[in-house]
Structure 1
């Protein structure tokens, strides 16, 4: 692949610290190659104290676009020339596009979730009730995207009630047509499941075999959907319970692929070949 790069090759990449574990280079380079585009996607390991220099370097070098991962998703904002609504609402950036020399920040994580829900679970948020587990950055991006997709009501459950209340207050001002409420872990969140169409785990719970305390999926209506952003292991305790109950469910691998597809479209103006990124990721995770 690299032997075919020309002098006009467009450069894309991912910045984070560390980035050696990132799956993005594999799926983005496959998409560039399959699409016949003259480009390459590379990892840039940028320590926090050099983030400003790195962002300035992107513009100076004409880098066409980058993904942004931890710990830079919020810290990068002051160094950019502008934000798309997706990033402004999420309070974080995961994609930067070089638009005629102006670096504009986007957030494709939440929209990637909405896309994955449609493709994997045949679920559309419009006029639905959604329970979100967690109130961190991933939750904020998910809630903002689900609001934009037309949800009727979103219930946020988090171990720190203050954090959940701050999140619903901030996003409630931005999306006044959506009812945003807080439920405590335990009985109240389980009671909320009776009226829920979708449950999304935005936390890392389940990554090491942990169950989510106080969440009884038995209260979810039979037509409900469970989505876990965790994708390793592929079946978390939450998804194991959903499978046992016969509830539609999916892990976060589809969301990871979908956010990558949307970033690719922002940079190139085209979508990658359908299903390609998902297949690349599945192959890596299975190996």
Structure 2
């Protein structure tokens, strides 16, 4: 079994703190990558309708030989499917593609503020939750103002908000709000999509100090911060490497050095303005 620790969500369910993401992985490659990840010890898999690889992900899960209740599967609702009834239909389609009876976590992928449908959409997720077809529900890319409104107008507190988060975008305001409401913080692009972050001298120095790769040092930073993290790779050696982050610990000096890297630098879209596909 995997050595990955779990966090307890605000509904009492447990989620592995380190999982496997399949963003930008074609469907046929996703099947192989997810199979490799599960074989390596990952027990949390993160996909989304817009990734167009739910079917491949589902095939890998079915063929893995791992009991369904030992896996934690997340998928997400795309922007064009927001709205109460549309969301219900989209969820059915995702379950069909995955070949599953339920998902462990269902997320609204983006708030899409211009469409102003995320509250109604979340109420559909509450229905799915009540039916047991999603064990937990949450959101992705929600800014504090979106989250505050959701908390005020719906009845189930999201278990998690999945946001862009890495040493150059540390999201302290969002993390504080999440902590206040018992919402887990999950980081996408935890390694900054490799765009320069892994070459930053501070990151390289901390990694060398511990005899680890820069990616392992960054993932360790996330874990010690309390973030849930979902690195993605299609390279078997890298898939295994990203899981091998539990045999060392960053010290106070390392954490301070990482804290100083925050530039508020987004690599992805600003959720306040991202309305693509709505």
TM-score (norm 2): 0.37
Structure holding more strand per residue = 1
User: Higher relative CO (CA 8 A, sep ≥ 6), structure 1 or 2?
Assistant: 2
- Whichever of the two has the greater Rg, that structure is 1
TM-score (norm 1): 0.36
